[in-house]
Amino acid sequence: MIVVSIIIIVLLFLAYKAIKGYSYLGHKETISPSSDKKQITINKHWLISVPISFVIGFLILLAINHFGKFSYLADTSQYNPYTGQTTYNNYLGSSTPVTSLSYKSPFNTKIDKYDVKLTMEDIWFHTEKYNYATKLDFYVKATLSDYLYIFLLAGIILILITFFKNFKLKIN
């Protein structure tokens, strides 16, 4: 741990000296005003287009994730305290508790949520416990899990924005 701290301090010191214009031997370097410096220019169009393309890519992927499938696992077991046994039935009543809720996105990303405190009535009738806000949590998590598709969509959108910014299409 101490070695890592010393290495970080030495690197920060060397970076400070490089910024101030000192060489690593301690001599001050003089830069003549006529020296040829390379200048990197960034077009304002790129500074605006890159974040916009990522936001549009995120929103497109979020919209695509609305076509995923939800599934649930209901707890149909009943514990009998007199016999000490658990029995299972196939009947799903409206008060049957839901133990887990799963979402599978169109890109095969699976998001599971356990201990959801829902009943079958909530699932069937879309009550206030199981509404769009609950589903939106799954959509956003799946979208963030599919971050590679966000980069792919952002790249395609950036290419399209750049193409239409630099070229004009004229139909005769």
Q: Which amino acid is at 39?
A: Q
Reduce the DSSP state of residue 114 to 3 states and report it: strand
Q: What is the pLDDT of residues 35-85, one digit of tens each?
A: 567 777 777 877 888 899 999 999 999 999 999 998 887 776 666 666 666
Pair 102, 72: CB distance under 8 Å: yes
Question: Among residues 88, 54, 71, 49, which one has the least CA distance to residue 123?
Answer: 71
Which pTM was predicted? 0.64
Looking at per-residue pLDDT, the higher value among 24 and 142 belongs to: 142
Please tell me the predicted confidence (pLDDT) of residue 24: 46
Question: What is the pLDDT, as a whole number, of residue 73?
Answer: 77
Judged by average pLDDT, the poorest of 16-25, 84-93, 112-121 is 16-25
Strands 77-80 and 97-104: unpaired
- Distance of alpha carbon 92 from alpha carbon 116, whole angstroms: 17
Residue 27 pLDDT greater than 60, yes or no: no
Cα–Cα distance between 80 and 157 in angstroms, integer? 60
Q: What is the pLDDT of residues 104-151, one digit of tens each?
A: 999 999 999 887 877 777 777 767 777 788 889 999 999 999 999 999
